[in-house]
Structure 1
Amino acid sequence: MGFFAVFFFTLVLAMAWKAYQRMLTPGSVPLRWLTRCLACAAAAYPLGVNGREVIDAAFTVGTAKVVQDVLVLGMTYTLLVFCLYSAADDGTAGRRVRRETVGFVGAAAVVVTAAFTAPDNSVLHSSFEDADMAAPHALAFYGTLGLYMLHTLTAAGVRTYRYARMSSGAAAAGLWTLTAGLAGMVLATGVRTGFLLVRAGGATVPHWMTTVSADLLVLSTPVFVLGVLWPGMCAGWAAWRLRVHHWRVYRRLEPLWRLLSSAYPDTVLPTLGRRGAFRYARRVIECRDGLIRIGPHLGTTSAVEAMAPGELALRLRQAIDDVHRGTVDPSRTEPLRITKYTGDEAEGVQHLVAVSQALQALPAGPR
């Protein structure tokens, strides 16, 4: 039960995250359908574990089973639509999606009708393992489920396999994982559909074979979901690491920023937001502006890269002290030479950090 709870919690978080991304990019059609796919999965999953009692208590016993099966059909349908929109333009994909929508509505209608019109509610009160597949309603119910899932999962799996072969990095890892999950679901669904036809003909299938196919279907579902989530998880991890890096640089630049802004408060940009990326960029810009302003008073014509961070830190503090005392020569306007880091943003920022840390290491002096 612990695994199922963790998996369900992951599904809900993934659906919420995709819904948030959809709010940020409302024009993304593939993202819209992927969000719907995860919503169907998140809604269907608890009904297969221990959430049936609530719905069955409010309606007829077996209603939760039908709702779950329709949601599973919706999950496979929305997954296929996501693949279609991801591979083609909206116009081309739209025609295929309309055909798939008709198929989904038809399959769902057959499933619901067969379940609620069966004599003595036999479909509602049975499961795949013990249903009488020779009965027309049971055959229509389980046969429609199996064939429709086999169609959508196979079509989505073929497209995912093609994308995986053309991809690299985190996207490829996610697509290959998704392909593996879909392959397991297709295999399990195909085997169970074959069992259905065998049982409809009057033969029997060993119970252990039915159990193995059901376990394969259950185990393939988390793999499928992991494949859907993997690229987003990798992107989120990379974004989190970048935010942490920006926060650390922001904090480490504080000694340099405080020194420069004390002499040139007009270099401090207005506060327009509290986002980490904005604060990081603003601090870097303010430190560079302050260096340019103080450059003519450093008493050297050397480029920044020619001075060790410790030497530059010492010259900066002396120059800032002169600015505070009003002893600087206003006629000096030679800018500080910065040549090496103009094309390498990361290296330039690291040099600023080194200077800032060198400032912090200097012994306190009179002001």
Structure 2
Amino acid sequence: MNIKLTFSISTAVILVVVALWQWRQLVRYPRDLPLRVLVIGVTSIAFVVTVGLPFAFFEPLHEFLDQVHFSNFAWAVMIWSFAAFFLLAAPSPDDGRRRTRRALVELAVVLIAMVVMYVVWATAPAGTWHNPRIPEDYRTWQNIVFYLSSCGATLGLWAIGTVRAVRYLRSLEHRWARRAVIVVIIGVSAMEIGVDGVALVRQGLYIAFPGSKWPLLSTLYNIGRLGGQIILAIGLAAAPLASLVAGVQDRLDVHRQRRLVRQLEPLWRRLTDEFPYIVLPPVPHGRPANEGTTAARFEQMTSEITDGLAYLAPYSVGHHPDPTQDLSDPSRAAATVAAALHALDSSRRVRWAGGDYRLPPAPYPKIEPEFDGRWRDRARWMAELSRELDTLRAGKVGAGLDELPAAT
């Protein structure tokens, strides 16, 4: 098996798998119009690439499909799908009907061009299409119309689709989604330029220079067709692969969050006992635990811990181990929290005894460091803080937490 056949088989397998995955997505989201368009295009190119493999059991199908120039029709549909997807998927304030009509008009135009191509080929006088071809063949109006219809229409639609795809990139914020779209643009462009672009250039050269040979163009054709197929397959596969990776990451995050919820329980319970008004509305019950409820419970717990530490901050004034440093070290933060809890309890005792306890004037130091949206680092810090507080309570270091009863 040579390298070319290996790449062709690999590309066909990838495209078939991607097409099946997209059909599965379409079953789940049948009203997703851009997805419908994408499924049509990917299925058509996957079918052409697969049946185009040089295997004996495909030979009868080759002979039938070649008679109707099926590969040209399928390629035109794929280019239309490329242009229509980015037309329909782009953010727009309208209801989508105008864009849908435009996509249908473009489909009609490209199909008419393919019909013209086929009619010209089928009705041409005998001897118009020699095999091998002779220089006079290229100057017939049938040959010119054939290539303008089959290649010119798709080239124009590809240019329109590429402009739309580049604009669509501006609306994408997800890094991997942007990369996937860029790879798809490169793959489709390589195929379109390598196949239709080279074909039109070659026809023009054959007309201008009768009898000339341009072997470089054949090389560019093969590079564009095969290389573009491979790049396109990689770009299309990036979406399901990214979805798979994201799904695995989500499941890992759920397991991590479930473990963190248990680790955060002591710290959360102590802070919510001291400041019961920070408790948010409970996560809905009455349904089995799943990823959604775990994530909601985790988010609620960490938010309440953040609020509790903010309410505790005024009582930490004067108890910060090192005012010039933040409390990113959980052991340092635990000492501050323990002292603040002790000060809180002392203030409560003073008030119960009828005394006047005044908090120090603001601003107050922040107990929780800034994590710039890194929820894993934030949760890990909270979990370690909870463990450190347990260690302080167990060892009765400083103001032992057992001596600090929760507010009633």
Greater alpha carbon shift after TM alignment, 58-67 vs 187-196: 58-67
Q: What are the Cα deviations for residues 98-120 of structure 1, in whole angstroms up to 9, with x where unaligned?
A: 32122122123234434555667
Over 3 Å counting, the alpha-carbon distance change for 1:250 and 1:271 in structure 2 is: farther
Q: Which amino acid aligns with 2:82?
A: L
Which residue, out of 131, 155, 162, partners 1:157?
Answer: 162
Q: What is the deviation of 1:79? A: 1.2
Greater alpha carbon shift after TM alignment, 199-208 vs 41-50: 199-208
| 1:83 alignment partner in structure 2 | 86
Which residue, out of 17, 22, 36, partners 2:26?
Answer: 22
| 1:38 alignment partner in structure 2 | 42
1:41-52 equivalences under 5 Å are: 41-50=45-54
Alignment of 1:215 onto 2:202: no
Equivalences, count:
329
RCO greater where, 1 or 2, for CA within 8 Å and sep 6 or more?
2
Larger Rg computed on CA atoms: 2
CA distance, structure 1, for counterparts of residue 75 and residue 133 of structure 2: 15
Identity %: 17
1:83-162 equivalences under 5 Å are: 83-87=86-90, 88=92, 89=94, 90-117=96-123, 132-134=137-139, 139-162=144-167
1:147-296 equivalences under 5 Å are: 147-164=152-169, 170=175, 171-188=177-194, 189-200=196-207, 202-230=210-238, 233-234=241-242, 236-251=244-259, 253=261, 272-273=287-288, 275-281=290-296
CA distance, structure 2, for counterparts of residue 143 and residue 23 of structure 1: 38
Equivalent residues of 1:243, 1:277 under 8 A apart: no
Secondary structure class of the residue paired with 2:69: helix
Secondary structure class of the residue paired with 2:202: helix
Equivalent residues of 2:187, 2:235 under 8 A apart: yes
CA distance, structure 2, for counterparts of residue 358 and residue 227 of structure 1: 48
| 2:401 alignment partner in structure 1 | none
CA distance, structure 1, for counterparts of residue 170 and residue 298 of structure 2: 43
Equivalent residues of 2:202, 2:214 under 8 A apart: no
Q: Which amino acid aligns with 2:184?
A: L
Equivalent residues of 1:154, 1:186 under 8 A apart: no
CA distance, structure 1, for counterparts of residue 24 and residue 241 of structure 2: 14
Unaligned runs of 5+ residues in structure 2 are: 269-281, 305-314, 317-326, 336-365, 392-408
CA distance, structure 1, for counterparts of residue 246 and residue 183 of structure 2: 19
| 1:13 alignment partner in structure 2 | 17
CA distance, structure 2, for counterparts of residue 254 and residue 115 of structure 1: 73
Q: What is the deviation of 1:155? A: 1.1
Over 3 Å counting, the alpha-carbon distance change for 1:100 and 1:121 in structure 2 is: farther
Q: What is the deviation of 1:184? A: 2.8
Over 3 Å counting, the alpha-carbon distance change for 1:130 and 1:234 in structure 2 is: farther
Over 3 Å counting, the alpha-carbon distance change for 1:358 and 1:276 in structure 2 is: farther
Over 3 Å counting, the alpha-carbon distance change for 1:11 and 1:59 in structure 2 is: closer
Q: Which amino acid aligns with 1:219?
A: G
Q: What is the deviation of 1:71? A: 0.9
| 1:3 alignment partner in structure 2 | 7
Unaligned runs of 5+ residues in structure 1 are: 261-266, 290-300, 312-338, 362-367
Equivalent residues of 2:187, 2:229 under 8 A apart: yes
Q: What are the Cα deviations for residues 311-361 of structure 1, in whole angstroms up to 9, with x where unaligned?
A: 9xxxxxxxxxxxxxxxxxxxxxxxxxxx977x9993664356447878999
Equivalent residues of 2:65, 2:71 under 8 A apart: no
Over 3 Å counting, the alpha-carbon distance change for 1:279 and 1:55 in structure 2 is: same
Q: What is the deviation of 1:9? A: 2.5
Over 3 Å counting, the alpha-carbon distance change for 1:92 and 1:356 in structure 2 is: same
| 2:319 alignment partner in structure 1 | none
Q: What are the Cα deviations for residues 179-231 of structure 1, in whole angstroms up to 9, with x where unaligned?
A: 43344344322232121233356443323322323322321233344445546
Pairwise CA RMSD of aligned residues? 5.2
Equivalent residues of 2:138, 2:207 under 8 A apart: yes
Over 3 Å counting, the alpha-carbon distance change for 1:35 and 1:121 in structure 2 is: farther
Equivalent residues of 1:11, 1:38 under 8 A apart: yes
Equivalent residues of 2:202, 2:217 under 8 A apart: no
Equivalent residues of 1:253, 1:356 under 8 A apart: no
CA distance, structure 1, for counterparts of residue 134 and residue 168 of structure 2: 36
Secondary structure class of the residue paired with 1:57: helix
Equivalent residues of 1:55, 1:64 under 8 A apart: no
